[in-house]
Amino acid sequence: MKATAWMLRLFTYKNDSGLRKKRQPIFENLAFRHKFDVNYAGDNLDRHCFDIYYANEENRKHKLIVDIHGGAYIMSHRKDNLHFGLSFLEQGYDFVTLDYRVNRGHLTIADQTGDLAQAIRYIQKHSQELDIYEDEIYLTGDSAGGHLALLFAILSENQGLQEELDLNIAHFKPKAVLVNCPVFDYCGASLRHTGTRGAQKLIYGPRYLDFDFLNRYSPSSYINDLTLPVFCSTCKLDFIRQESLALQKALSERGDFEFIDIDSDDPKIGHVHNILLPEREESIRVNNAMMAFIEKY
């Protein structure tokens, strides 16, 4: 167990270091108005911040993409998703990337969702000074962030669940939710995709064996109650593709559900490829489809 945890920590460090190097040139040449490191919790934690970017006025749609990054609940950072967000900014959409505390075995999903609920409340309260329109919000997320985006879409329509999970998000009403390679069955994913118990504890925290608790935070537990339009993408080489397929099965009868499954044997076109490599042809196809979906709703 200790060896597994050590290897995951090393992988996390290398992944985050690599993403920091990759994003630096983007920030050096950023051509969009922005507000960096807006703290939503009144403390000094970087993970309790969000960044907001504004489309240029000549084509600004006054529609806001609220994006939750993935990273297996233990890595990545809000700034890593700007590369993905540029596709939307260039087409006139404002883009905000939310951050939350990542796990090292000491947090639970309740802590992480509590962070995001606090961020959402802050954005609602300060929408005027942030220069955004509350009634034109679209929620997105990838991988673990896809799980969180789906959960908050469900919460936005279920006051009782907000109270049960102590996740007050007031009148947050996204118009649609768009997810890429999401975790759908959070409890099942903890068993299927993480291997040893050491890895499970590092990713899911001290309640990693409390399956009733994990199910309470799983979109699969409430999906039949979700009425918002849903977009989902996956690909042939997505290592958690079965999660997207399970979401597809649950929503396949709905007319406002769109599903894209990229059939490619290119090893680079894998899990969340449109986030990590948005310039690739397959990624452009997915991101263009996301924008077309937004325009429907």
Q: What is the pLDDT of residue 244?
A: 98
Q: What is the pLDDT of residue 134?
A: 81
Which residue range(s) make up the domain with 122? 2-296
How do beta strands 64-68 and 33-39 pair?
Answer: unpaired
238-264 tens-digit pLDDT: 999 999 999 999 999 999 999 999 999
Residues 197-225, mean pLDDT to the nearest whole number:
93
Domain count for the chain, please give it.
Answer: 1
Position with higher pLDDT, 198 vs 208: 208
Confidence of residue 18 (pLDDT cuts 50, 70, 90): low
Lowest mean pLDDT segment, chosen from 101-105, 187-191, 235-239, 243-247: 187-191
Q: What is the pLDDT of residue 278?
A: 96
Confidence of residue 190 (pLDDT cuts 50, 70, 90): confident
Predicted TM-score (pTM) of the model is: 0.92
Whole-number mean pLDDT of the chain? 91
What percent of the chain clears pLDDT 90, i.e. is strictly above it? 83
121-176 tens-digit pLDDT: 999 999 999 999 888 999 999 999 999 999 999 999 999 999 999 999 988 999 99
Which CATH number fits the domain that encloses residue 66? 3.40.50.1820
Q: What is the pLDDT of residue 2?
A: 43
Q: What is the pLDDT of residue 109?
A: 98
Q: What is the pLDDT of residue 7?
A: 46
Position with higher pLDDT, 10 vs 163: 163
What percent of the chain clears pLDDT 70, i.e. is strictly above it? 90
